[in-house]
Structure 1
Amino acid sequence: MPHRALPWRRGAVGALIAALALLTAACGGGLAANSNASGEAYTELRTGKAGTAADAKVIEEIPASVRNAYAGFWHATRIGPNPYAGWKVPKAPWKFCYSSAYQGNTWRQEGLKVAQGIVADFDAKGLADGKLLASDANNNASLQATQITTMAQKGCDVILVMQPPTVGVCKAFQSAKDAGALVVVMQTGTDCTNVIQSDFGAYYAGQKSAQWLVQKIGDTNGTVVMCDGIPGVAAAEARQAGAADVFAKAGLKVDHITGQWTPSTVKSEMLRYLSTNQGALAGVWDGGVCAAAVTEALQQAGRELPWVTGFEGGCPWLASWKQTGKESFGFAASAGDGLVQAFRIALRMLAGQQPKYNTLLYPLAEIDSTNFDQYYKDGMTLNSACFAQPAGGGSVPDSYYDALFTGGNQPETFDAHLSDLPVK
């Protein structure tokens, strides 16, 4: 699940001014009235950095029912007012378009399949203007910007953007917005404030899996190894920060390996670590696609298997859990679920509802020993390329977003057929 982000920060004076501005605005109008030191009505993106008083004030203003997902939000995204407040809602049938930064892995391919299925159902109901128009930028920011601009020129009413680069496409987003298109960025943080963002709370997810590990470790002596993702990438840094804060509070010794979100790299890095660290391991925290590869490395090295968490719900992790019988904990963080949440947001806006903020975060569906049998399927192996889909059709029900929207009518509903995705 490649995400890319660059840290952005200002000086201490600017942060203090921003905090005072937020506090003042909160007394007379809430988060939507806030401005930072440069006069922008959005918080700052500070990947891998500590939160400020301004960030804390923003979290206080988030509705209590959804607040947990916004923990540590500044690592991955910016929050402020709805940039589509004056948007003229188009009438159905709508033209749906899909801009992907990269389609070269099965996670992305599953997401596209879900998007195509939803739009095909809408088309059959007369709610969509033909099939989904999709593009693949092959990790080229300039190409993706051009593709998005072209989509707007072709009359796309909704442009769903999967994991664009953090910077480099803001002008294209603005061109699409100026043309009347609703742009919804999915599954990544962005420095752009002219789009609607849909993502899971990465920091919160990192906290949750680390808390499970701490509980399982108990008074066991030993080191926790954090298997980190790609350095500097917002999604990786956010979940790592959440876990690190939990481990620090628990007083645990922590070492790190960098897995680059690539199983082969994870295994080689874990074997290298084990060759130079003979001490007891209390646990391994997974920052993404680490669990199965880490377990293989431990077995190859003849080491006792400690508690190992999962993260994104990959089928190899579930197959490894089944084979070893060693309990684990992770999430159903599929691209399919990412599309479900993005469509729910877009459909609410197409029904005239207004989001309270530009960024809409949700918690992931959790996978543990109580529901393992719901997620593990016969046929899953260590070489499978599939991902567990959240039970119930999504990580959160559509009603989760009630606290994040105002006005408008009831949105159209849909079945994403997540359970239909093949196990392979």
Structure 2
Amino acid sequence: QQINQIRAFIDKKCSIITSIPGSATALDDAIDAAAKAGIPFITAAGSVTSPNAINVDSNYARWGYDMMTAIGKAQPDGASILLVEGIAGHPIVVQERQGADKALAENPKLKISRNVNGNWTANVTKTVVLQAIATNPAPIDAVWTTGSESRVVAEAFAEAGRPAPLITGSITGDALGYWKANPDKYRFEGHAVLPHWTAQTLFRVGERMLDGQKPKLNTLLIPIPPVHTADLGAWYKDCMTTDAVSIFPIPPKDPMPEEWLDAYFSNPAPTKGWDYSKVPDACAK
């Protein structure tokens, strides 16, 4: 379907084509056809192998490494860690785990107590975490996750009567709602993998390319904004409750300042029309 859509956009002589690709390789011929027609092709939240595409993505191995390193910093005397991964074999899961394993190799005081897959799904994650807790009476100091299910992880530990662990992952509106209602039961060190800034960066790159700016590489790895427990108050908004699973927090400040984005281009200039102060509030309707 994506191939047909791309070719239809080529026939319509679109100025630019953007995509969240469903495959790393299947779209390559269509992307090459767009290039022959002089149409830039930009991806987000997934990369393709065609050299004619510009991939706007992030370094997920670095994310996994940073989250595990954060656990080590918070637990300098060592920690027993529950790993909650996403869908087994998914490229992002593999990359995140590679980063985590590197951090574990650097800090022998960090020990893995159990490894489960929550499939990036709240009910599955809660079930496997409760099972892991029930079969592991020893203390669990931290939970390293690769998704957006930190709230249900915290709920599972609270329901089991276990001390609140340090949880990593991607911050969400429902997690912030849980933290606001239960500040003593939610400890977080992670990042914000969010649709807003992902889309914003995609379109800013596209706008610059239409303006004649040249990316230095065909894969642009955008830093994922960090989020610490001490910062949660700045991310929280009144509309965020434990049920706010479709509300995504907005970074308090631009996670990709213009001067950072300039470094990705050989002939940088400000993105036309870009003003982070005009980004809608997370609670906007």
Aligned counterpart, 2:61: 203
Is the counterpart of residue 225 in structure 1 residue 86 in structure 2?
A: no
Aligned counterpart, 1:187: 45
Q: Would the alpha carbon gap of residues 408 and 173 (structure 1) be closer, same or farther in structure 2, given more than 3 Å must change?
A: same
CA contact (8 A) 1:310 1:317 kept: no
Instruction: Map Cα deviations across residues 192-248 of structure 1 (whole Å, 9 max, x no partner).
Output: 33200101222222222221111112214x520111111222222222221221123
Q: How far apart in 1 are the matches of 2:270 and 2:181? A: 46
SS in structure 2 at match of 1:322: helix
Which shows bigger deviation, 156-165 or 257-266?
156-165
Q: Could you state the TM-score of these two structures normalised by the residue count of structure 2?
A: 0.90
Deviation of 1:389 (Å): 1.8
The one of 92, 96, 116 equivalent to 1:257 is 116
Aligned counterpart, 2:25: 167
CA contact (8 A) 2:239 2:283 kept: no
Aligned counterpart, 1:351: 211
CA contact (8 A) 2:55 2:220 kept: yes
Aligned counterpart, 1:245: 102
Q: Would the alpha carbon gap of residues 322 and 344 (structure 1) be closer, same or farther in structure 2, given more than 3 Å must change?
A: same
CA contact (8 A) 1:223 1:253 kept: yes
CA contact (8 A) 2:83 2:143 kept: yes
Deviation of 1:267 (Å): 0.5
Which shows bigger deviation, 317-326 or 260-269?
317-326
Instruction: Map Cα deviations across residues 53-95 of structure 1 (whole Å, 9 max, x no partner).
Output: xxxxxxxxxxxxxxxxxxxxxxxxxxxxxxxxxxxxxxxxxxx
What letter matches 1:208 in structure 2? D
SS in structure 2 at match of 1:285: strand
SS in structure 1 at match of 2:98: helix
Aligned counterpart, 1:329: 189
Deviation of 1:423 (Å): 6.7
Instruction: Map Cα deviations across residues 132-175 of structure 1 (whole Å, 9 max, x no partner).
Output: xxxxxxxxxxx111111111211211111124322311112112
Which shows bigger deviation, 404-413 or 302-311?
404-413
Q: How far apart in 2 are the matches of 1:243 and 1:176? A: 38
Q: How far apart in 1 are the matches of 2:133 and 2:187? A: 22
CA contact (8 A) 1:332 1:395 kept: no
Aligned counterpart, 1:308: 167
What letter matches 2:53 in structure 1? V
Aligned counterpart, 1:420: 281
The one of 258, 265, 276 equivalent to 1:405 is 265
Is the counterpart of residue 144 in structure 1 residue 2 in structure 2?
A: yes
Alignment of 1:378-397 (within 5 A): 378-384=238-244, 385-392=246-253, 394-397=254-257
What letter matches 2:38 in structure 1? G
What letter matches 1:357 in structure 2? L
Q: Could you state the TM-score of these two structures normalised by the residue count of structure 1?
A: 0.62
Q: Would the alpha carbon gap of residues 319 and 248 (structure 1) be closer, same or farther in structure 2, given more than 3 Å must change?
A: farther
Aligned counterpart, 1:68: none
Q: How far apart in 1 are the matches of 2:80 and 2:268? A: 52
**Percentage of matched positions with identical amino acids:** 27
Alignment of 1:64-143 (within 5 A): 143=1
SS in structure 2 at match of 1:379: coil
Which shows bigger deviation, 281-290 or 198-207?
198-207
SS in structure 2 at match of 1:246: helix
Q: Which runs of 5+ in 2 are unaligned?
A: none
Q: Which runs of 5+ in 1 are unaligned?
A: 1-142
CA RMSD, Structure 1 to Structure 2 (Å):
2.0
CA contact (8 A) 1:228 1:236 kept: yes
Instruction: Map Cα deviations across residues 382-416 of structure 1 (whole Å, 9 max, x no partner).
Output: 22121112222x32102112222113655423246
Q: How far apart in 1 are the matches of 2:225 and 2:280? A: 15
Aligned counterpart, 1:283: 142
What letter matches 1:359 in structure 2? T
The one of 87, 93, 96 equivalent to 1:236 is 93
What letter matches 2:156 in structure 1? A
Q: How far apart in 2 are the matches of 1:411 and 1:418? A: 15
CA contact (8 A) 2:250 2:281 kept: no
What letter matches 2:202 in structure 1? A
CA contact (8 A) 1:289 1:310 kept: yes
Q: How far apart in 1 are the matches of 2:195 and 2:158? A: 30
What letter matches 2:174 in structure 1? P
Q: How far apart in 2 are the matches of 1:271 and 1:195? A: 43
Which shows bigger deviation, 261-270 or 246-255?
246-255
How many residues align? The count is 279
CA contact (8 A) 1:332 1:389 kept: no
Q: How far apart in 1 are the matches of 2:282 and 2:165? A: 32
Q: Would the alpha carbon gap of residues 420 and 224 (structure 1) be closer, same or farther in structure 2, given more than 3 Å must change?
A: same
Which shows bigger deviation, 403-412 or 367-376?
403-412
